[in-house]
Amino acid sequence: MTKKTIRKAACLKQVIEYYKHSHAKKEFVPGKSLVQYAGRVYNEKDMSAMVSAVLDFWLTYGEYAMQFEKLFARFHGVENAILTNSGSSANLLAISALLARNLKNGLNPQDEVITPALTFPTTVAPIVQNNLVPVFLDCEVETLNIDVTYLKKALSPRTKAVCIPHTLGNPCNMAAITDFCRKHHLFLIEDTCDALGSKYGKKLVGTFGDLGTFSFYPAHHITLGEGGAVITANPQLAQVLRCLRDWGRTCSTHCTSCRYADKRDGHCAFRFSQKGSHAMPRDYDKRYVFSYIGYNLKPLDIQAALGIEQLKKFPSFKRKRIDNFNSLYKGLLRYREFLILPRNERHAEPVWFAFPITVRKNKWFNRKELVLFLERKKIETRMIFAGNVLRQPGFRHIRHRSIGVLKNSDYVMEQSFFIGVYPGLGDTQIKYILEQFNQFFKEKALA
Protein backbone atom coordinates (compact mmCIF):
# COMPACT_ATOMS: atom_id res chain seq x y z
CA MET A 1 0.00 0.00 0.00
CA THR A 2 1.27 3.46 -0.85
CA LYS A 3 1.33 6.29 1.69
CA LYS A 4 -1.45 7.95 -0.29
CA THR A 5 -3.69 4.86 -0.01
CA ILE A 6 -3.03 4.59 3.72
CA ARG A 7 -3.90 8.27 4.25
CA LYS A 8 -7.04 7.91 2.19
CA ALA A 9 -8.14 4.85 4.20
CA ALA A 10 -7.59 6.84 7.42
CA CYS A 11 -9.75 9.70 6.07
CA LEU A 12 -12.53 7.31 5.11
CA LYS A 13 -12.43 5.68 8.54
CA GLN A 14 -13.07 9.14 10.00
CA VAL A 15 -15.95 9.63 7.60
CA ILE A 16 -17.57 6.41 8.81
CA GLU A 17 -17.16 7.58 12.42
CA TYR A 18 -18.67 10.94 11.47
CA TYR A 19 -21.63 9.21 9.80
CA LYS A 20 -22.26 7.03 12.86
CA HIS A 21 -22.29 9.99 15.23
CA SER A 22 -23.82 12.74 13.10
CA HIS A 23 -26.26 10.91 10.86
CA ALA A 24 -27.67 8.35 13.29
CA LYS A 25 -31.34 7.56 12.64
CA LYS A 26 -33.60 9.74 14.75
CA GLU A 27 -36.43 8.18 16.72
CA PHE A 28 -39.87 8.73 15.18
CA VAL A 29 -42.12 10.81 17.41
CA PRO A 30 -45.74 10.65 16.15
CA GLY A 31 -47.12 14.12 15.47
CA LYS A 32 -43.70 15.74 15.92
CA SER A 33 -41.44 14.03 13.38
CA LEU A 34 -42.08 14.83 9.74
CA VAL A 35 -43.42 11.97 7.61
CA GLN A 36 -41.70 12.95 4.39
CA TYR A 37 -43.13 12.20 0.96
CA ALA A 38 -39.61 11.24 -0.12
CA GLY A 39 -36.03 11.58 1.01
CA ARG A 40 -32.45 10.48 0.88
CA VAL A 41 -31.82 6.94 2.15
CA TYR A 42 -28.13 6.40 2.65
CA ASN A 43 -25.48 4.95 4.95
CA GLU A 44 -21.79 5.27 5.67
CA LYS A 45 -20.93 3.52 2.38
CA ASP A 46 -22.63 6.26 0.33
CA MET A 47 -20.87 8.94 2.31
CA SER A 48 -17.41 7.36 2.06
CA ALA A 49 -17.86 6.67 -1.68
CA MET A 50 -18.50 10.38 -2.23
CA VAL A 51 -15.60 11.46 -0.02
CA SER A 52 -13.35 8.98 -1.80
CA ALA A 53 -14.25 10.65 -5.11
CA VAL A 54 -13.58 14.08 -3.59
CA LEU A 55 -10.15 12.93 -2.40
CA ASP A 56 -9.36 11.68 -5.92
CA PHE A 57 -10.31 15.22 -7.00
CA TRP A 58 -11.05 14.39 -10.63
CA LEU A 59 -14.36 16.17 -9.95
CA THR A 60 -15.93 16.17 -13.39
CA TYR A 61 -17.19 13.23 -15.50
CA GLY A 62 -14.59 10.45 -15.04
CA GLU A 63 -14.02 6.86 -13.92
CA TYR A 64 -16.97 6.71 -11.49
CA ALA A 65 -19.33 8.17 -14.08
CA MET A 66 -18.19 5.64 -16.69
CA GLN A 67 -18.63 2.81 -14.19
CA PHE A 68 -22.10 3.98 -13.20
CA GLU A 69 -23.11 4.17 -16.86
CA LYS A 70 -21.95 0.57 -17.39
CA LEU A 71 -23.82 -0.69 -14.32
CA PHE A 72 -26.98 1.23 -15.17
CA ALA A 73 -26.95 -0.04 -18.76
CA ARG A 74 -26.37 -3.61 -17.55
CA PHE A 75 -29.24 -3.28 -15.05
CA HIS A 76 -31.54 -2.48 -17.99
CA GLY A 77 -30.01 -4.99 -20.38
CA VAL A 78 -29.14 -2.28 -22.92
CA GLU A 79 -25.86 -1.24 -24.48
CA ASN A 80 -25.91 2.44 -23.64
CA ALA A 81 -26.56 4.61 -20.60
CA ILE A 82 -25.63 8.28 -20.75
CA LEU A 83 -25.33 9.95 -17.37
CA THR A 84 -26.51 13.57 -17.05
CA ASN A 85 -26.76 16.21 -14.35
CA SER A 86 -30.57 15.84 -13.96
CA GLY A 87 -33.66 14.06 -15.21
CA SER A 88 -34.74 17.28 -16.92
CA SER A 89 -31.41 17.28 -18.79
CA ALA A 90 -32.01 13.65 -19.72
CA ASN A 91 -35.38 14.64 -21.24
CA LEU A 92 -33.79 17.60 -23.03
CA LEU A 93 -31.10 15.33 -24.52
CA ALA A 94 -33.58 12.62 -25.51
CA ILE A 95 -35.85 15.00 -27.44
CA SER A 96 -32.96 17.00 -28.91
CA ALA A 97 -31.27 13.82 -30.17
CA LEU A 98 -34.31 13.03 -32.31
CA LEU A 99 -33.69 16.22 -34.32
CA ALA A 100 -30.06 15.35 -35.05
CA ARG A 101 -28.88 15.69 -38.65
CA ASN A 102 -28.24 12.30 -40.24
CA LEU A 103 -30.71 10.48 -37.99
CA LYS A 104 -32.86 8.22 -40.14
CA ASN A 105 -36.47 9.51 -40.09
CA GLY A 106 -35.42 12.12 -37.53
CA LEU A 107 -37.67 14.96 -36.39
CA ASN A 108 -37.85 18.48 -37.83
CA PRO A 109 -39.17 21.67 -36.21
CA GLN A 110 -43.00 21.83 -36.26
CA ASP A 111 -43.31 18.04 -36.10
CA GLU A 112 -45.76 16.76 -33.51
CA VAL A 113 -45.11 14.77 -30.35
CA ILE A 114 -48.01 13.04 -28.59
CA THR A 115 -47.85 13.34 -24.80
CA PRO A 116 -50.27 13.47 -21.85
CA ALA A 117 -51.51 16.79 -20.45
CA LEU A 118 -51.08 15.45 -16.90
CA THR A 119 -47.33 15.61 -16.65
CA PHE A 120 -44.12 16.99 -15.23
CA PRO A 121 -43.10 20.38 -16.68
CA THR A 122 -39.72 19.24 -18.01
CA THR A 123 -41.28 16.29 -19.80
CA VAL A 124 -43.00 18.84 -22.07
CA ALA A 125 -40.47 21.71 -21.98
CA PRO A 126 -37.89 20.07 -24.32
CA ILE A 127 -40.63 19.46 -26.91
CA VAL A 128 -41.42 23.19 -26.91
CA GLN A 129 -37.74 24.22 -26.63
CA ASN A 130 -36.97 22.21 -29.79
CA ASN A 131 -39.79 23.98 -31.71
CA LEU A 132 -41.84 20.81 -31.85
CA VAL A 133 -45.59 20.82 -31.24
CA PRO A 134 -46.94 18.86 -28.26
CA VAL A 135 -50.26 17.13 -28.87
CA PHE A 136 -51.94 16.65 -25.52
CA LEU A 137 -54.07 13.66 -24.59
CA ASP A 138 -56.15 13.18 -21.50
CA CYS A 139 -55.18 10.78 -18.70
CA GLU A 140 -56.98 8.07 -16.77
CA VAL A 141 -57.84 9.06 -13.21
CA GLU A 142 -56.95 5.75 -11.55
CA THR A 143 -53.64 5.05 -13.33
CA LEU A 144 -52.75 8.75 -13.85
CA ASN A 145 -51.27 7.69 -17.21
CA ILE A 146 -52.01 8.69 -20.80
CA ASP A 147 -55.39 7.41 -22.01
CA VAL A 148 -54.39 5.23 -24.95
CA THR A 149 -57.89 5.24 -26.42
CA TYR A 150 -57.15 8.75 -27.79
CA LEU A 151 -53.89 7.83 -29.55
CA LYS A 152 -55.44 7.21 -32.97
CA LYS A 153 -57.39 10.48 -32.85
CA ALA A 154 -54.18 12.40 -32.13
CA LEU A 155 -52.42 11.17 -35.26
CA SER A 156 -51.65 13.66 -38.05
CA PRO A 157 -49.21 13.66 -40.99
CA ARG A 158 -46.78 15.59 -38.73
CA THR A 159 -46.83 13.08 -35.86
CA LYS A 160 -43.30 11.79 -35.37
CA ALA A 161 -43.01 10.71 -31.75
CA VAL A 162 -44.78 9.72 -28.55
CA CYS A 163 -43.37 10.82 -25.20
CA ILE A 164 -44.92 9.24 -22.12
CA PRO A 165 -44.16 9.50 -18.43
CA HIS A 166 -44.90 6.44 -16.28
CA THR A 167 -46.63 8.58 -13.68
CA LEU A 168 -45.47 8.03 -10.10
CA GLY A 169 -43.82 4.77 -11.15
CA ASN A 170 -46.99 3.24 -12.61
CA PRO A 171 -46.24 1.70 -16.03
CA CYS A 172 -48.36 2.93 -18.95
CA ASN A 173 -50.24 0.52 -21.20
CA MET A 174 -47.11 -0.46 -23.12
CA ALA A 175 -48.83 -3.05 -25.29
CA ALA A 176 -51.10 -0.39 -26.82
CA ILE A 177 -48.38 2.29 -26.99
CA THR A 178 -45.69 0.14 -28.62
CA ASP A 179 -48.23 -1.26 -31.12
CA PHE A 180 -49.27 2.28 -32.06
CA CYS A 181 -45.67 3.48 -32.44
CA ARG A 182 -44.65 0.45 -34.51
CA LYS A 183 -47.68 0.73 -36.79
CA HIS A 184 -47.13 4.45 -37.48
CA HIS A 185 -43.29 4.46 -37.44
CA LEU A 186 -43.07 6.82 -34.47
CA PHE A 187 -40.19 7.29 -32.06
CA LEU A 188 -41.07 6.42 -28.46
CA ILE A 189 -39.55 8.21 -25.47
CA GLU A 190 -40.32 6.85 -22.03
CA ASP A 191 -39.92 9.35 -19.20
CA THR A 192 -38.99 6.79 -16.57
CA CYS A 193 -37.87 9.42 -14.06
CA ASP A 194 -40.35 8.13 -11.45
CA ALA A 195 -40.27 4.47 -12.41
CA LEU A 196 -36.84 2.89 -11.98
CA GLY A 197 -37.34 -0.88 -11.71
CA SER A 198 -41.05 -0.90 -12.64
CA LYS A 199 -41.99 -3.60 -15.12
CA TYR A 200 -44.63 -4.21 -17.73
CA GLY A 201 -45.01 -7.83 -18.81
CA LYS A 202 -41.78 -8.71 -16.97
CA LYS A 203 -39.80 -6.12 -19.01
CA LEU A 204 -38.31 -3.04 -17.34
CA VAL A 205 -39.91 0.25 -18.31
CA GLY A 206 -37.52 2.58 -20.07
CA THR A 207 -36.49 -0.27 -22.39
CA PHE A 208 -39.65 -0.37 -24.54
CA GLY A 209 -38.95 2.83 -26.43
CA ASP A 210 -36.10 4.25 -28.46
CA LEU A 211 -35.06 6.27 -25.42
CA GLY A 212 -35.71 5.97 -21.69
CA THR A 213 -34.95 8.81 -19.27
CA PHE A 214 -34.32 8.72 -15.50
CA SER A 215 -33.95 11.14 -12.60
CA PHE A 216 -31.75 10.72 -9.54
CA TYR A 217 -33.01 13.71 -7.58
CA PRO A 218 -33.28 12.79 -3.87
CA ALA A 219 -37.03 12.13 -4.13
CA HIS A 220 -36.45 9.36 -6.65
CA HIS A 221 -35.81 5.61 -6.35
CA ILE A 222 -32.05 6.08 -6.05
CA THR A 223 -30.25 9.38 -5.65
CA LEU A 224 -27.05 10.98 -6.90
CA GLY A 225 -28.02 14.27 -5.22
CA GLU A 226 -28.90 15.62 -8.62
CA GLY A 227 -28.57 13.48 -11.73
CA GLY A 228 -30.26 11.72 -14.57
CA ALA A 229 -29.64 9.27 -17.39
CA VAL A 230 -30.80 8.33 -20.85
CA ILE A 231 -30.74 4.72 -21.97
CA THR A 232 -30.96 3.45 -25.52
CA ALA A 233 -30.27 0.30 -27.49
CA ASN A 234 -29.62 2.41 -30.60
CA PRO A 235 -25.85 3.07 -31.06
CA GLN A 236 -26.41 6.06 -33.36
CA LEU A 237 -28.70 7.74 -30.84
CA ALA A 238 -26.21 6.94 -28.07
CA GLN A 239 -23.44 8.71 -29.95
CA VAL A 240 -25.62 11.77 -30.60
CA LEU A 241 -26.69 11.86 -26.93
CA ARG A 242 -23.07 11.82 -25.71
CA CYS A 243 -22.17 14.47 -28.23
CA LEU A 244 -25.03 16.77 -27.23
CA ARG A 245 -24.25 16.27 -23.56
CA ASP A 246 -20.56 17.13 -24.07
CA TRP A 247 -20.73 20.56 -25.79
CA GLY A 248 -21.68 18.99 -29.13
CA ARG A 249 -18.22 17.58 -29.64
CA THR A 250 -17.77 14.43 -31.62
CA CYS A 251 -14.88 12.92 -29.81
CA SER A 252 -13.93 12.56 -26.21
CA THR A 253 -10.87 10.90 -24.74
CA HIS A 254 -13.28 9.04 -22.49
CA CYS A 255 -15.19 7.68 -25.43
CA THR A 256 -15.21 3.96 -24.71
CA SER A 257 -17.23 3.13 -27.80
CA CYS A 258 -14.81 4.79 -30.24
CA ARG A 259 -13.07 2.15 -32.31
CA TYR A 260 -9.99 4.35 -32.47
CA ALA A 261 -9.70 4.85 -28.72
CA ASP A 262 -6.41 3.70 -27.32
CA LYS A 263 -7.51 2.23 -24.01
CA ARG A 264 -4.02 2.48 -22.46
CA ASP A 265 -3.60 6.24 -22.37
CA GLY A 266 -6.95 7.49 -23.63
CA HIS A 267 -5.35 9.08 -26.69
CA CYS A 268 -6.57 8.44 -30.16
CA ALA A 269 -4.20 7.59 -32.98
CA PHE A 270 -6.34 9.73 -35.29
CA ARG A 271 -6.47 12.72 -32.98
CA PHE A 272 -4.52 14.99 -35.31
CA SER A 273 -5.50 13.36 -38.60
CA GLN A 274 -8.82 14.66 -39.84
CA LYS A 275 -10.59 12.65 -42.49
CA GLY A 276 -13.74 14.71 -42.58
CA SER A 277 -14.75 17.97 -44.21
CA HIS A 278 -12.22 20.19 -46.03
CA ALA A 279 -13.61 23.11 -44.05
CA MET A 280 -11.51 21.90 -41.09
CA PRO A 281 -7.69 21.94 -41.07
CA ARG A 282 -6.43 18.37 -41.56
CA ASP A 283 -4.43 18.40 -38.31
CA TYR A 284 -7.25 19.85 -36.25
CA ASP A 285 -7.46 18.15 -32.84
CA LYS A 286 -10.44 15.76 -32.94
CA ARG A 287 -11.27 16.80 -29.39
CA TYR A 288 -12.24 20.20 -30.76
CA VAL A 289 -14.52 19.04 -33.54
CA PHE A 290 -18.11 19.99 -32.84
CA SER A 291 -20.63 18.08 -34.91
CA TYR A 292 -23.76 19.30 -33.17
CA ILE A 293 -24.99 22.40 -31.38
CA GLY A 294 -24.78 20.93 -27.93
CA TYR A 295 -24.95 21.63 -24.23
CA ASN A 296 -22.87 20.81 -21.21
CA LEU A 297 -25.12 18.50 -19.18
CA LYS A 298 -22.41 16.33 -17.65
CA PRO A 299 -22.57 15.12 -14.03
CA LEU A 300 -19.80 15.25 -11.45
CA ASP A 301 -17.81 12.12 -10.71
CA ILE A 302 -18.71 12.62 -7.04
CA GLN A 303 -22.40 12.15 -7.90
CA ALA A 304 -21.63 8.98 -9.83
CA ALA A 305 -19.62 7.54 -6.89
CA LEU A 306 -22.78 7.89 -4.80
CA GLY A 307 -24.87 6.38 -7.59
CA ILE A 308 -22.78 3.20 -7.65
CA GLU A 309 -23.53 2.62 -3.96
CA GLN A 310 -27.20 3.56 -4.33
CA LEU A 311 -27.66 1.09 -7.18
CA LYS A 312 -26.46 -1.71 -4.87
CA LYS A 313 -29.22 -0.76 -2.42
CA PHE A 314 -31.94 -0.68 -5.07
CA PRO A 315 -33.31 -4.24 -4.46
CA SER A 316 -34.03 -3.41 -0.81
CA PHE A 317 -35.40 0.07 -1.75
CA LYS A 318 -37.73 -1.59 -4.21
CA ARG A 319 -39.07 -4.12 -1.67
CA LYS A 320 -39.75 -1.38 0.88
CA ARG A 321 -41.54 0.88 -1.62
CA ILE A 322 -43.81 -1.99 -2.67
CA ASP A 323 -44.49 -3.04 0.96
CA ASN A 324 -45.30 0.53 2.02
CA PHE A 325 -47.60 0.98 -0.96
CA ASN A 326 -49.43 -2.28 -0.22
CA SER A 327 -49.90 -1.41 3.48
CA LEU A 328 -51.33 2.03 2.62
CA TYR A 329 -53.59 0.53 -0.04
CA LYS A 330 -54.94 -2.08 2.38
CA GLY A 331 -55.53 0.51 5.07
CA LEU A 332 -57.24 3.07 2.81
CA LEU A 333 -59.47 0.62 0.96
CA ARG A 334 -62.23 1.16 3.52
CA TYR A 335 -62.54 4.79 2.35
CA ARG A 336 -63.11 3.86 -1.30
CA GLU A 337 -66.48 5.61 -1.18
CA PHE A 338 -64.63 8.93 -0.72
CA LEU A 339 -61.18 8.29 -2.17
CA ILE A 340 -60.17 6.95 -5.59
CA LEU A 341 -57.18 4.69 -5.00
CA PRO A 342 -54.53 3.99 -7.65
CA ARG A 343 -54.79 1.13 -10.10
CA ASN A 344 -52.11 -0.44 -12.31
CA GLU A 345 -52.39 -2.09 -15.72
CA ARG A 346 -52.98 -5.86 -15.69
CA HIS A 347 -49.43 -6.68 -16.79
CA ALA A 348 -47.71 -3.96 -14.79
CA GLU A 349 -45.49 -4.37 -11.72
CA PRO A 350 -44.97 -0.82 -10.43
CA VAL A 351 -42.25 0.23 -8.04
CA TRP A 352 -44.25 3.19 -6.78
CA PHE A 353 -42.69 6.61 -6.45
CA ALA A 354 -45.52 7.64 -4.11
CA PHE A 355 -49.11 6.85 -3.15
CA PRO A 356 -51.62 8.92 -5.15
CA ILE A 357 -55.08 9.65 -3.75
CA THR A 358 -57.98 11.32 -5.55
CA VAL A 359 -60.76 12.81 -3.43
CA ARG A 360 -64.16 12.07 -4.97
CA LYS A 361 -66.32 15.17 -5.12
CA ASN A 362 -68.63 14.91 -2.10
CA LYS A 363 -70.62 17.12 0.27
CA TRP A 364 -68.63 16.34 3.44
CA PHE A 365 -65.07 17.41 2.67
CA ASN A 366 -62.75 18.51 -0.13
CA ARG A 367 -59.10 17.93 -1.06
CA LYS A 368 -57.90 21.07 0.68
CA GLU A 369 -59.39 19.99 4.03
CA LEU A 370 -57.80 16.54 3.83
CA VAL A 371 -54.43 17.87 2.68
CA LEU A 372 -54.35 20.55 5.40
CA PHE A 373 -55.33 17.97 8.02
CA LEU A 374 -52.46 15.69 6.96
CA GLU A 375 -49.95 18.54 6.76
CA ARG A 376 -50.98 19.66 10.28
CA LYS A 377 -50.29 16.11 11.42
CA LYS A 378 -46.79 16.43 9.89
CA ILE A 379 -47.58 14.12 6.97
CA GLU A 380 -46.14 15.64 3.80
CA THR A 381 -48.31 15.83 0.69
CA ARG A 382 -47.64 16.88 -2.89
CA MET A 383 -49.83 17.57 -5.93
CA ILE A 384 -49.55 15.38 -9.04
CA PHE A 385 -46.70 17.50 -10.43
CA ALA A 386 -47.95 20.12 -12.92
CA GLY A 387 -51.51 18.73 -13.10
CA ASN A 388 -52.95 19.68 -16.50
CA VAL A 389 -49.80 21.45 -17.69
CA LEU A 390 -51.79 23.72 -20.03
CA ARG A 391 -53.23 25.47 -16.96
CA GLN A 392 -49.74 26.36 -15.68
CA PRO A 393 -48.69 30.00 -16.20
CA GLY A 394 -45.57 29.05 -18.17
CA PHE A 395 -47.41 26.73 -20.54
CA ARG A 396 -50.75 28.46 -21.15
CA HIS A 397 -49.61 30.13 -24.34
CA ILE A 398 -47.50 27.40 -25.95
CA ARG A 399 -48.25 26.25 -29.46
CA HIS A 400 -50.01 22.88 -29.15
CA ARG A 401 -52.95 20.70 -30.10
CA SER A 402 -55.29 19.09 -27.58
CA ILE A 403 -57.38 16.05 -28.31
CA GLY A 404 -60.87 16.51 -26.91
CA VAL A 405 -61.44 18.06 -23.51
CA LEU A 406 -58.82 17.22 -20.94
CA LYS A 407 -61.40 16.57 -18.26
CA ASN A 408 -59.58 13.85 -16.31
CA SER A 409 -56.38 15.90 -16.28
CA ASP A 410 -58.42 18.79 -14.83
CA TYR A 411 -60.09 16.45 -12.35
CA VAL A 412 -56.73 15.14 -11.12
CA MET A 413 -55.38 18.69 -10.90
CA GLU A 414 -58.34 19.65 -8.71
CA GLN A 415 -58.89 16.49 -6.66
CA SER A 416 -55.64 14.48 -6.36
CA PHE A 417 -52.46 14.53 -4.28
CA PHE A 418 -49.85 12.05 -3.13
CA ILE A 419 -48.14 10.90 0.05
CA GLY A 420 -44.90 8.99 0.49
CA VAL A 421 -43.95 5.33 0.22
CA TYR A 422 -40.18 5.87 0.09
CA PRO A 423 -37.90 3.38 1.87
CA GLY A 424 -37.16 5.86 4.66
CA LEU A 425 -40.70 5.20 5.96
CA GLY A 426 -40.90 2.26 8.36
CA ASP A 427 -43.95 0.37 9.59
CA THR A 428 -44.37 2.89 12.45
CA GLN A 429 -44.76 5.81 10.04
CA ILE A 430 -47.15 3.89 7.77
CA LYS A 431 -49.26 2.95 10.81
CA TYR A 432 -49.25 6.59 11.88
CA ILE A 433 -50.40 7.75 8.42
CA LEU A 434 -53.32 5.28 8.49
CA GLU A 435 -54.27 6.32 12.04
CA GLN A 436 -54.45 9.94 10.89
CA PHE A 437 -56.71 9.05 7.95
CA ASN A 438 -58.96 7.19 10.41
CA GLN A 439 -58.95 10.24 12.66
CA PHE A 440 -59.91 12.52 9.76
CA PHE A 441 -62.86 10.36 8.77
CA LYS A 442 -63.89 10.00 12.43
CA GLU A 443 -63.94 13.78 12.86
CA LYS A 444 -66.12 14.01 9.74
CA ALA A 445 -68.36 11.30 11.24
CA LEU A 446 -67.68 9.18 8.17
CA ALA A 447 -65.65 6.37 9.77
Q: Which is nearer to ligand PLP, 69 or 191 (CB)?
A: 191
Member of 206, 228, 294, 350 binding ligand PLP (CB under 6 A) = 228
What is the rounded CA–CA span in Å between residue 53 and residue 300?
Answer: 10
Question: Shortest approach of ligand PLP to residue 213 CB, angstroms?
Answer: 7
Question: Shortest approach of ligand PLP to residue 88 CB, angstroms?
Answer: 3
Residue pair 268/258 in contact (Cβ under 8 Å)? The answer is yes
Q: What are the E-state strand segments in 28-127?
A: 80-84, 112-116
Which residues ranging from 120 to 159 are in contact with ligand PLP (CB under 6 A)? 120, 122-123
Residue pair 39/422 in contact (Cβ under 8 Å)? The answer is yes
Q: Which is nearer to ligand PLP, 231 or 261 (CB)?
A: 231
Question: Shortest approach of ligand PLP to residue 215 CB, angstroms?
Answer: 3
Query: What sign does the dihedral 170-176-177-179 (CA atoms) show?
Result: positive
Instruction: Give helix 3-22 / helix 44-56 axis angle, nearest 10°.
Output: 140
What are the phi and psi torsion angles at 267 (to 5°)? -100, 150
Would you call 347 a catalytic residue per the annotation?
Answer: no
Which residues ranging from 77 to 96 are in contact with ligand PLP (CB under 6 A)? 86-88, 91
What is the rounded CA–CA span in Å between residue 228 and residue 209?
Answer: 17
With contacts defined by CB under 6 A, name the span among 191-199, 278-286, 323-331, 421-429 that binds ligand PLP. 191-199
Beta strands 159-165 and 187-191 are parallel
Catalytic residue among 76, 166, 220, 400: 220
DSSP state string for 294-360: --B-PPBHHHHHHHHHHHHHHHHHHHHHHHHHHHHHHHHGGGTTTEEPP---TTEE---SEEEEEEP
Instruction: Give the C-alpha distances (Å, rounded to integers) separating 172 from 92, 147, 365.
Output: 21, 9, 31
Question: Shortest approach of ligand PLP to residue 325 CB, angstroms?
Answer: 17
Q: Which is nearer to ligand PLP, 123 or 173 (CB)?
A: 123
Question: Shortest approach of ligand PLP to residue 166 CB, angstroms?
Answer: 8
Member of 106, 165, 350, 356 binding ligand PLP (CB under 6 A) = 165
Member of 198, 215, 234, 250 binding ligand PLP (CB under 6 A) = 215
Helix (H) or strand (E) holding 203: strand 203-204
Member of 111, 138, 140, 191 binding ligand PLP (CB under 6 A) = 191
With contacts defined by CB under 6 A, name the span among 5-13, 118-126, 306-314, 330-338 that binds ligand PLP. 118-126
Q: Which is nearer to ligand PLP, 166 or 249 (CB)?
A: 166
Residue pair 138/404 in contact (Cβ under 8 Å)? The answer is yes
Residue pair 19/47 in contact (Cβ under 8 Å)? The answer is yes
- The verdict on 194 binding ligand PLP (CB under 6 A) reads yes
- Which residue, judged by CB position, is nearest to ligand PLP in the bound state? 87
Question: Shortest approach of ligand PLP to residue 291 CB, angstroms?
Answer: 26
- The verdict on 209 binding ligand PLP (CB under 6 A) reads no
What are the phi and psi torsion angles at 232 (to 5°)? -160, 150
Q: Which stretches of the chain bind ligand PLP, using CB under 6 A?
A: 86-88, 91, 120, 122-123, 165, 191, 193-194, 215, 217, 228
> Catalytic positions, please?
220
